[in-house]
Amino acid sequence: MVVRKPLLFIGVSLRPALLASLLCLLAACAPFQREVPAGPPADPGRLLLQAAESRIGAPYRYGGAGPDAFDCSGLVAYAYQQVGISVPRTAAQQFAVATPVARRDLRPGDLVFFRLSGHEVGHVGIYVGGERFVHAPQSGGSVRLASLEDQWYRERFVGAGRLYAAPQ
């Protein structure tokens, strides 16, 4: 039987040193990977709309700001928070700071505002597209889709606005 002795160099085995050298050489042969350019920046309107739509079915609760129950402005605040944008808490405050958007120029994620009674804005929803919006409607209801063409909303619509810079 032949017994092999490990290679020794001044009393130290060369096997670990050879293995380390081999790994270094192999690492140097790794293929070059060019940095892949990022795609266009994500549209914050679509992202916040996704956050709002994910809450469809959640119950209405006065003062609710999620994640399990909402009032109308709480749903807006929650959706914007999910994309890192801080917004005022009430529908009237959101209307006051929003950049006005003509109805014909609405984009997904824009806000639509309504007067329920009196002169102050009292309700807000997030525009989906196709004249539809997602909102938390009232006590006993739940987050759902509605139409700007519905007579009740059409009569109370006061305007639309945007709280983020729209992508070009």
Return the number of other C-beta atoms located less than 10 Å from residue 16's C-beta: 9
Q: How far apart are CA 102 and CA 93, in angstroms?
A: 19
Q: How far apart are CA 53 and CA 101, in angstroms?
A: 21
AA letter at 113: F
Catalytic residues, which ones?
72, 123, 135
44-162: CATH class: alpha beta
DSSP output for 1-42:
---PPPPEETTEESHHHHHHHHHHHHHHTSPP-PPPPP-SPP
- Give the model's pLDDT for residue 43: 87
Overall pTM > 0.85: no
- Give the model's pLDDT for residue 119: 84
DSSP 59: B
Q: In a structure prediction context, what are the per-residue pLDDT tens digits for the chain, which is 168 residues long?
A: 555 555 554 555 556 555 555 455 544 554 544 554 555 567 899 999 999 999 999 999 999 999 999 999 999 999 999 999 999 999 999 999 999 999 999 999 999 999 998 889 999 999 999 999 999 998 889 999 999 999 999 999 999 999 987 666
- Give the model's pLDDT for residue 86: 92
- Determine contact, residues 39/32, Cβ cutoff 8 Å: no
